[in-house]
Amino acid sequence: MELFWFILVLAVIIIITCVKVVSQAEAVVIERVGSYLETWNNGLHFKLPFVDRIVNRITLKEIVRDFLPQSVITKDNVSMQIDTIVYYQITDPKLYTYGIENPIVAIENLTATTLRNLIGELELDQTLTSRDAINEKMCAILDEATNPWGIKINRVEVKNIIPPRDIQEAMEKQMRAERERREKILQAEGEKKSAILIAEGEKESAILRAEAIKQTSIKEAEGQAEAILRIKEAEADGIKLLKEAKADKSVLTLKSFEALAKVADGQSTKIIVPSDLQNIATLSTTIEEMFKDHKSE
């Protein structure tokens, strides 16, 4: 009786241990009697005791490997250290298990040799400025080489490019000289623009001053013309008033003397005065005729 319960308990334990659960994004490779049987994906599975065994449990997630720096030599014989990062994913668990021994070491060695071949075809300047091209070429080469191993290379990144110390110092000096050159160019361009703006400002200022002088002269001339016109209009109005008032010869004679007095107040050094009253009468008659002519006009 006790043997029965012992066998029953043992059978239950064996059955429980043969029930396996595969998680999401995992795969399990199963062998039966030493030969590949199948690949389990996520879910509940059962294996035969003492016959089936789990050979490999594989993650199907994308894996990142940061490999150690590799010593490479460029086309112009410059030695440098370059380290890379490889992003890969297992697409076929069976090929990954049986395709190659220690696939991670194989990927690392393949990455190193591929990197040396690519850098050996480039000069130093090309190496420093062609990271994207190097990444793309390495990704294509590694993906093709690892395809029989059930591995998909998604991306390859050149992480660091470390040239020798003397090369780094020379590059730093070159960069410093380039920055100084750009600074001087920007300063010269700024001074040039400043000089141009100053010259344009002086030009516009001179044009505005000339325009102001011109407008002032025009206004002065218009003022003088207006003054002369007002004087002539006033004189005409005075003559008209005298004529309308029917001024006699004595009044005209008086106005003549007033005109002579104004002439005497001017800058003239000689004044011609009629020698007798007859001439004065004649002058009065002449002024009267002027009034008549102005009225007829």
Which has the higher per-residue pLDDT, 215 or 235? 215
Q: How far is CA 117 from the centre of its chain?
A: 39
What predicted TM-score, i.e. pTM, was given to this entire model?
A: 0.55
Higher pLDDT, 128 or 290: 128
Collapsing DSSP states into helix, strand and coil, what is residue 116? helix
Q: Are 110 and 142 in contact (CB under 8 A)?
A: yes
Residue 279 pLDDT > 90, yes or no?
Answer: no
Measured between alpha carbons, how far apart are the two ends of the chain, in Å?
Answer: 164
Q: How far apart are CA 232 and CA 241, in angstroms?
A: 14
Query: Which helix (H) or strand (E) segment is 283 a member of?
Result: helix 277-296
Nearby residues of 139 by Cβ (< 8 Å), 6 or more positions away:
153, 154, 155, 156
Tokens of 127: 């190496």
- What lies within 8 Å, CB to CB, of 47 at 6+ separation is 18, 20, 30, 53, 54
Give the model's pLDDT for residue 70: 85
Q: Which of the four pLDDT bands, split at 50, 70 and 90, describes residue 107?
A: very high
Contact 81, 70 (CB under 8 A): yes
